[in-house]
Structure 1
Amino acid sequence: MQRPDTARLTWGSATVVLATVALLLLSGTTTTPGIAAACAAGLLLGVLVAVTMPVRAGRVKTSGAVPPDPGNEEVRAAVPRVRAGTGTRTGS
């Protein structure tokens, strides 16, 4: 069995909570066995939803490299190289 992903956990948890609340409100039970049965039914329904959810086919395939954004291009300017000679002060 595969590890559950975020979508399965979310849908399963939401199903458990909503089904349990709905069963408790609709049945109107106040006894301990009735509440336990509603909780167990909600839990089973949530597990059923999480297990039977369709699996994603896989990663999205792209057609090669993504071109860079036109605004993020590097700008280079032609500048003459300056070399420090023996008579040049470089730490002032």
Structure 2
Amino acid sequence: MPRPNPAQLAYGSATVVCSTLAMLLLSETRSGGWIAVIAFAALALGLLVALTAPSTRPTPKRHRVVARADAAAGTRSPAARPDPVPAQHAASAAPAPAATAGLGARH
């Protein structure tokens, strides 16, 4: 599971605090059981908000820096790699050399 970014943590925490206060004030409950239910519901709501908040995406500047670092290291970034060559069918493959042709054959 990916780690939440600071914005997601802030959204989730603010949701827990605000929803807990709102539900406690609106329900005017005094019993410990109902306070626990409200706290659990607020926690679940905060978790839902934190998980559905949009995460940050790398900016184009970051892509350039990564591509430049890959070029310096002698590797290519996944976007710059060419498509793989499709495998040829066995019927169109070149015949095996004579030295290896008889290795699997029965005599």
TM-score when scaled to structure 1? Answer: 0.63
Secondary structure at the aligned position of 1:17 is classed as helix
Structure 2 equivalent of residue 27 of structure 1: 27
Note the alpha carbon deviations across 1:31-86, whole angstroms, 9 max, x for none: 01110011001100000000111122213427x7xxxxxxxxxxxxxxxxxxxxxx
- Is 1:54 aligned to 2:50, yes or no? no
Structure 2 equivalent of residue 16 of structure 1: 16
| Structure 1 unmatched runs, 5+ | 65-92
Q: Write the distance in 2 (CA, Å) between the matches of 1:15 and 1:55.
A: 17
Secondary structure at the aligned position of 2:57 is classed as coil
- Is 1:41 aligned to 2:32, yes or no? no
Q: What is the number of equivalent residue pairs in this alignment?
A: 63
Which of the two has greater helix per residue? 2
TM-score when scaled to structure 2? Answer: 0.55
Q: Write the distance in 2 (CA, Å) between the matches of 1:60 and 1:11.
A: 26
Give the share of equivalent positions with the same residue, in percent.
Answer: 48
Report the aligned-residue RMSD: 1.6
